[in-house]
Amino acid sequence: MSIQVRVGKKDEWRRFFDTCENAFGEEPNDDMVERFKRILSPSDLLAAFDGDAMVGTAAAFRFTLSIPGGELPAAGVTLVGVLPSHRRQGVLTRLMRHQLEQARARRQPLAVLWASEGSIYGRFGYGPATKQAAIDVERDRAVFIDQSPNPGRSRLLSTAEAVKVLPDVYERVRIRTPGMFARSQEWWEAHTLADPEEGRRGDGPMWRVVWENEGRAEAYALYRLHHEWPEGMPAGSLHVAEAIATSPAATRALWSFLFGVDLVARVRSWVVPIDHPLFLMLTEPRRLRMVVKDALWLRVVDVPAALGARGYAGEGTLVLALRDELCPWNSGTWRLETSASGARVERTTDAPQLAMSAADLGAVYLGGVGFGELVEAGRVHELEEGAALRASALFAAERTPWCSEIF
């Protein structure tokens, strides 16, 4: 089978989405296509062809991603699919290789994605770089230790108001949280605040609440209600799609509002940080029923650019032996030196202290996974005693990495 991969064309939008959605057993609609046209360009689309037939798709948003100590351009991989008739025949590998070469040409040192199945993307050099927690708490058991009145006020916003008010709150949290990406106005309108019927999954419409204190927005939440009335009693749930707060006071005030919404029995969310302050704010943290899962997967596309731009927790030297079959320009032994003036990364003939794969480097890059954890998992090999401990200390991030939105 001769498979060709090329960049999409302006007149192939619908064909691209038909192929991608059909790969998941779904069908696109015109609204979906138009929303994606606002946040992607044809040059961001890749399509695989078997003769004249489009059989696979992949796309990449052009993100600015927060990393420890700064931010970097990153390819936000999305809309990946191969028709059932062409799976396990190398189509996805060709798409992934082409996409990584494209990211390198665009000077994007990183690529990130949410994995439909981790077993797919680990073999392409992506590692689980952030974790997320799901919570499911009975509303009447969500009692705060601090029972003092919340200052400020909460108010509901229209979509038009939300586009003006919420970005500032998000950005203040984004710049200090590794794993979060900058959002354009088009992204807010076409993605974050979009409320298509197929995105509700049986819930009601999206509601938008902001908490303000002394005239400034400090927290917000996007949520939906799912109503159930067995025997005439309210037993539904409130589903939090996103909750962002700039301070502990803002966190308590925002979640006090969410736990105070009437006519629901439970409050649920499946994309909160694993170290969410609620765990220590509530009298019964066990009631949160926190379940941890993998979230954002990261791949290093350009080793010297990615490691050189990152901030580190101290000064030191590491020598890493890296295996990277899909991006051979990354393979080899690298010397990382960190100092108060920055980081220096170069190839070396020094004896390596740690041996790892591209997926392992992606997992540790944001500081959410330690080298020692990967050594214990049998993934990273420690070639010099104590190297994993030193590496984990250098790569430690001030804030636990997290990504608040699936893309």
Catalytic residues, which ones? 121, 407
Q: Which of 177, 222, 151 is nearest to 68 (CA)?
A: 177
Helices (H), 260-301: 278-281
How far apart (Å, rounded) are the C-alpha atoms in residues 104 and 306? Answer: 11
Q: Are 229 and 172 in contact (CB under 8 A)?
A: no
Give kind and range of the element (H or E) at residue 38: helix 30-39
How far apart (Å, rounded) are the C-alpha atoms in residues 319 and 368? Answer: 20
What secondary structure does DSSP assign to 163-223, as a single string?
A: HHHHHHHHHHHHTTSTT-B---HHHIIIIIS---HHHHTT----EEEEEEETTEEEEEEEE
> Both tokens of residue 90?
């190398």
* 67: number of Cβ within 10 Å: 22
Which whole-number Å values give the CA distances from 321 to 145, 298, 318, 391, in the listed order? Answer: 49, 19, 10, 13
> Both tokens of residue 147?
């029972």
Q: Are 267 and 276 in contact (CB under 8 A)?
A: no
Q: Are 61 and 97 in contact (CB under 8 A)?
A: no
* 116: number of Cβ within 10 Å: 11
Q: Cβ neighbours of residue 381 under 8 Å, at least 6 residues apart?
A: 354, 355, 356, 375
- Count Cα neighbours of 196 within 13 Å in the Cβ-side half-sphere: 15
* 374: number of Cβ within 10 Å: 25
Q: What letter does residue 283 receive in the DSSP assignment?
A: S
